C-alpha cells in the first residue's frame, strides 16, 4: 500500500513463524547488547523509548549529540550481527544495491511516545529506511517535509513492514501511542527485556554514502 509517494506499507509482511524467529533472534541481541536509555543532546533529558542496535553501526544519543558508532555506549562492546530475517527483509524490500549498516531496535512500553521528527543523521539519503514492527500495535503518524505539513496516521501491527524511500525519506514522523494488545491480532512472545503489552520496532538503515 503506497501511503504517500515512496512510503510503502506491507501489512503482515512477516508471518507468525517469521515473527517468532525474529523475536528469538532479538532476545539474543538484547542479552548481548542490553537496552539503554538515550538522552537528548545538550539537555540530557531521557527519551521514553529505550534502544539497542545490531549490525556494524548503531544509533546513539547523549548530551554530546546524535551519532552512529560501532560500540554499545554502556558496555563498550561491538553491536551483535543483524539476524538473517532482517538482512533478508532488506534484500526483499529496500531495492537498494548497498547493504544495510545499522539496525536500530526501539523498545516501547505501553504509554511510550516518539515525537514528530526527521531521520537525517545518515550520510546517504538515496537509500531507504526499512521498519519492521513486532508486538503491540503502534499508531504511527507521518507528515511532509516541513513540521507544519498536514499529517495522517496508520496502525503498524506486529509483522508489518514500512519502507521510507525517495520523496518520503525525509518526512516528519513519530509514534503517537501504543495500543492495547488486541486478542484478534496474533503476535509473538517478545523478549523479556520488553515490558508486558510493549512493542519492538527495528529500523534498518544505510549510514555511509553509497559509492
Q: Which residues bind ligand MD3 (CB under 6 A)?
A: 104, 106, 114, 119, 129, 131, 138, 140, 162, 164, 168-169, 171, 173, 175, 201, 203
Q: How far is the CB of 88 from ligand MD3 (least distance, A)?
A: 19
Q: How far is the CB of 209 from Fe ion (least distance, A)?
A: 20
Q: Which is nearer to ligand MD3, 34 or 115 (CB)?
A: 115
Report how far residue 190's alpha carbon sits from residue 136's, in angstroms, rounded to the nearest whole number. 10
Q: How far is the CB of 89 from Fe ion (least distance, A)?
A: 17
Footprint of Fe ion (CB under 5 A) = 119
Q: Which is nearer to Fe ion, 188 or 199 (CB)?
A: 199
Question: Which residue of this chain has its Cβ atom nearest to Fe ion in the complex?
Answer: 119
DSSP3 helix / strand / coil % (the chain, rounded to 5): 15, 35, 50
Residue from 129, 118, 132, 133 nearest 178 by CA? 133
Concatenated DSSP letters for 123-177?
S-SSS-EEEEEEES-EEEEE--SSTTS--EEEEE-TT-EEEE-GGGTT--EEEEE
Q: Which is nearer to ligand MD3, 72 or 199 (CB)?
A: 199
Q: Which is nearer to ligand MD3, 145 or 210 (CB)?
A: 145
- DSSP symbol at 35: -
Question: Which residue of this chain has its Cβ atom nearest to ligand MD3 in the complex?
Answer: 201
Work out what residue 175 binds among ligand MD3, Fe ion, none; the CB cut-off runs from 5 to 8 Å by kind.
ligand MD3
Give the HSE-up count for residue 54: Cα atoms under 13 Å, Cβ half-sphere. 21
- φ, ψ of residue 107 to 5 degrees: the values are -110, 120
Amino acid at each position: 500500500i503506497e501511503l504517500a509517494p515512496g512510503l510503502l506499507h506491507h501489512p503482515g509482511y512477516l508471518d507468525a513463524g517469521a515473527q517468532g524467529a525474529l523475536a528469538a533472534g532479538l532476545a539474543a541481541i538484547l542479552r548481548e547488547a542490553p537496552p539503554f536509555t538515550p538522552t537528548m543532546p545538550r539537555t540530557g533529558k531521557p527519551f521514553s523509548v529505550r534502544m539497542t542496535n545490531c549490525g556494524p553501526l548503531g544509533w546513539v544519543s547523549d548530551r554530546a549529540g546524535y551519532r552512529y558508532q560501532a560500540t554499545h555506549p554502556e558496555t563498550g562492546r561491538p553491536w551483535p550481527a543483524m539476524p538473517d530475517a532482517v538482512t533478508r527483509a532488506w534484500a526483499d524490500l529496500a531495492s537498494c544495491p548497498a547493504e544495510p549498516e545499522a539496525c536500530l531496535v526501539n523498545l516501547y512500553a505501553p504509554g511510550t511516545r516518539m515525537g514528530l521528527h526527521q531521520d537525517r543523521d545518515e550520510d546517504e539519503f538515496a537509500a531507504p529506511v526499512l521498519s519492521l514492527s513486532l508486538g503491540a500495535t503502534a499508531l504511527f503518524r507521518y507528515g511532509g517535509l516541513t513540521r507544519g505539513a498536514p499529517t495522517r496516521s496508520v496502525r503498524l501491527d506486529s509483522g508489518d513492514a514500512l519502507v521510507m524511500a525517495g520523496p518520503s525519506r525525509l518526512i516528519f514522523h513519530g509514534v503517537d501511542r501504543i495500543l492495547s494488545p488486541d486478542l484478534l491480532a496474533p503476535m509473538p512472545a517478545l523478549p523479556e527485556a520488553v515490558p508486558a503489552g510493549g512493542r519492538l520496532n527495528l529500523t534498518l538503515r544505510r549510514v555511509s554514502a553509497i559509492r
